[in-house]
Chain A
Amino acid sequence: KAGVTQTPRYLIKTRGQQVTLSCSPISGHRSVSWYQQTPGQGLQFLFEYFSETQRNKGNFPGRFSGRQFSNSRSEMNVSTLELGDSALYLCASRPSTGNTEAFFGQGTRLTVV
């Protein structure tokens, strides 16, 4: 079974631009969560999608958004990028919202210059 796939692996963007990151969960997994990891704040939960609906949301500004497609693939979007958005963005899939063990992708390293 293929693992969680995140694309792209690395990204460099300029302040003010927007970016879209993609995540394909493990086949059969319907829950996709996104996390931001920075040295200062650690792993912060962004949001979770299940059955194309956002089920939970962390404490991030509205510039961070996401969506999930009918095949469970998910995208997250960050608009009006700031330097502080530079981070490793991790996607995690779970079979459903009732399972806690999460399977992570390799992450997308976003650098904002």
Chain B
Amino acid sequence: SQQGEEDPQALSIQEGENATMNCSYKTSINNLQWYRQNSGRGLVHLILIRSNEREKHSGRLRVTLDTSKKSSSLLITASRAADTASYFCATDSGGSYIPTFGRGTSLIVHP
């Protein structure tokens, strides 16, 4: 069963625009991660934010975490066509550090 659910399911933007994806989850977590998947391939880890952190940056990526609302957002600034992919949030909780994934947001960036 999914712990996290991404929103929106699909997002279509123009190159240069910012893309924001959201993730909501149900139970308390240890960590929240974001992964990217290019069509039909493996997932690539983007960024990890711990439950005691509120914001993290990595290059053009900005992740926020609001544990009171059980939600996270991923912002990709100045999107490029190469950012076209599916983006997944993953959470782990309790004594298990196994990431549990949402269904993902499909991002299309038009050149």
Which residues of chain A have a CB within 8 Å of any CB of chain B? 4, 33, 35, 42-43, 45, 48, 56, 59, 88, 90, 92, 94, 97-107, 109
Contacts and interface: CB of A to CB of B under 8 A. Distances in A.
Interface in B31-53: 31, 33, 35, 40-45, 48
A95 B104 CA distance: 25
B97 A42 contact: no
B26 to A, nearest CB: 15
B41 A100 contact: no
Contacts of A105: 42
Nearest to A42: B103
A42 B92 contact: no
A106 B41 contact: yes
A107 B37 CA distance: 11
Interface residues of B, number: 25
B25 interface: no
Interface of B: 1-2, 30-31, 33, 35, 40-45, 48, 88, 90, 92, 96-104
Q: Do most interface residues of chain A lie in helix, strand or loop, or is the interface mixed?
A: strand
Contacts of B92: 100
A48 B98 CA distance: 8
10 contacts: A48-B98, A56-B96, A88-B40, A99-B97, A100-B30, A101-B33, A102-B45, A106-B42, A107-B42, A109-B40
A104 B38 CA distance: 12
A54 to B, nearest CB: 12
